[in-house]
Amino acid sequence: MNELWYRILATRVYEYLARVDAFAGPDARGLELRRLTAAWRALLRLHGYVGRRRCGLCAGRGRATRIWLAGKPGSCSVWWVAHAYFTRRLRADEQRDAAQRPRG
């Protein structure tokens, strides 16, 4: 992970979480959605980029983790999951919105 990639990814993930918060209503489901987004934000802050192509928490892990993440320099499994679930959904939302726009 490099700094530019991290900034782009973090922006996309935090935009998605903000959209979820905006979507959450005042009922119990909305409260749970806001709790989940707050938990994700806290987890992502803990795994923030600290330079030298690595996550602040994952960088200190042992050899087994380095082997598991082999081929992914500075990879952080938390950010890989956030990317897989949140940024791909954003692209799908954008494609759906583009398909619904009137063509002219």
Residues of the domain holding 7:
3-97
- Is residue 51 situated within a structural domain? yes
Q: For 24-41, what is each residue's pLDDT tens digit? A: 988 999 999 999 999 999
Residue percentage of the chain with pLDDT more than 70? 74
- Is residue 60 situated within a structural domain? yes
Q: How many domains does the chain have?
A: 1
Q: For 69-85, what is each residue's pLDDT tens digit? A: 444 545 688 888 888 88
**DSSP letters spanning the chain:** --HHHHHHHHHHHHHHHHHHHHH--SSHHHHHHHHHHHHHHHHHHHT-B-STT-BTTGGG--HHHHHHTTTSTT--HHHHHHIIIIIHHHHHHHHHHHHHSPP-
